[in-house]
Chains A and B, each alone.
Chain A
Amino acid sequence: MTAVLDAVGLGKRYGRRDALVDCTLSIPAGHVVGLVGPNGAGKTTLLQLAVGLLAPTSGTIKVLGGQPASDAHHLARVGFVAQDTPTYAGMSVADHLRLGAHMNPGWDAQLANDRIARLRLDPRQRAGKLSGGQRAQLALTLAIAKRPELLILDEPVASLDPLARREFLQILMEFVADQGASIVLSSHLVADLERVCDYLIVLTRGHVQVSGEVEELLATHYRLCGARREVREMPAGMQVIDASHTDRQSTFIVRSAVPIDDPSWTVEQLTMEDIVLAYMTQAAAVDGRDRVLEASR
């Protein structure tokens, strides 16, 4: 199965600032991929590179086996909803659908009209007068109705109220069930993604911290609680992601390919949010250490 997104050493630099550094990813098809990271981590940069809005400054990226936005045919296979779901404020909902129909040979007018009817959107209403949730649904309809193989969404639910958020995800999941497309969506809130994603990428400060199937990540990450112990005393074959200590007790978040049998540990399963937090803490800690080193020079 070809990867829907294949990045090798991908980097993007603006002047002296690195937005994305040495990212290597291979995302398999048929998944709902969650891209998580704090604001400024580089999520938007990565997604815009994937749709061809940006060009990389180093490394390569291939989407659906081809260069992003290379020609009309490739553009037809990838749908994109940018952050803040832009729409033409002066154009009506019906006009937006006409736009989609005229500019996409693969446009499914039936699907689009059904969606709009189910959302109870007035086709004559101008997009500028719609609520945030309705605009997001309109942008999603435009992206879906051209029947893409891959749909990329940049923080689509960030500014939506809980009800609008739920409705958005419902329509999105229905689309996946119907068409078997792959989805990549980014968010800075894990809770948004936990229900729908089966593949996870954690991005902080332009670096990929971890990427993999959610099931595999949940099965191989554990929280170990036990007597006070240093990181270097941990057995080999186990990767320590995060560690915290009190006088007598240590808690480690570890990644291990084999189940942990050692009775001196209390072994707990983690939620997706726990895993993401652990990697984000690790990234922040690395930076903190660097900062301390610099100050002491």
Chain B
Amino acid sequence: MVIEFHLDARSGVAPYMQLIQQVRHAMRLGLLSEGDRLPTVKEVVATIAINPNTVLKAYRELEYAGLVAPKPGVGTFVTRTLGDSSIAAHGPLREELEHWLTKARHAGLDDESIEALFKSTFRSPMKENA
């Protein structure tokens, strides 16, 4: 197997999200590249004992995001790399974020309030997509 998953039961992040994040992370680091085969559902659950539907859901999400594609009877394969596109978008995104942080501090929010606001907003739209 090219990638081995693990589950953090206490992170508060849904298991299928954790799998997605681990795939994306591996892709970003270059551990997974185009043409690599993801472990089968059976292989994944035999290593970390989780519900197969969770793995199926994660793989489906990755497919919708255009990152992987299933080949029936053979497996699920990575279809692109997550490298340059995110790095290129980093710069403008970083600037926007700094601008927003300045606004938040002017509004009187302390560091913890900013973090709480960020986290709750971060999670809600993710649920809508799921």
Contacts and interface: CB of A to CB of B under 8 A. Distances in A.
Interface stretch (A11-19, A131-139, A168-176): A168-176
A195 B19 CA distance: 13
Interface string B38-62: 0011100111111111110000000
Nearest to A32: B51
Interface string A168-212: 011111101110000000000001001111100000000000000
Interface in A145-187: 166, 169-174, 176-178
A25 B55 CA distance: 27
A265 to B, nearest CB: 12
Interface of A: 31-32, 166, 169-174, 176-178, 191, 194-198, 219, 269, 271
B51 A194 contact: no
A198 B49 contact: no
Contacts of A219: 127
Q: What are the nearest 7 A-B pairs in CB distance?
A: A169-B49, A173-B45, A177-B52, A177-B42, A174-B46, A170-B49, A177-B41
A26 B47 CA distance: 31
B52 A173 contact: yes
Interface of B is mostly: helix
B130 to A, nearest CB: 9
B104 interface: no
A176 B51 contact: yes
Contacts of B123: 269
Contact of A197 (B7, B40, B51): B51
Interface of B: 7, 9, 12, 15, 40-42, 45-55, 123, 127
Given A176-B51, A196-B50, 15 more contacts: A31-B53, A32-B51, A169-B49, A170-B46, A170-B47, A171-B46, A173-B45, A174-B45, A176-B52, A178-B42, A191-B9, A195-B7, A195-B9, A196-B51, A271-B12
Contacts of B50: 173, 195-196
A149 to B, nearest CB: 16
Contacts of A271: 12
B53 A195 contact: no
Nearest to A267: B120
Contacts of B47: 170
Contacts of B45: 170, 173-174, 176-177
Contacts of A171: 46
A219 B130 CA distance: 12
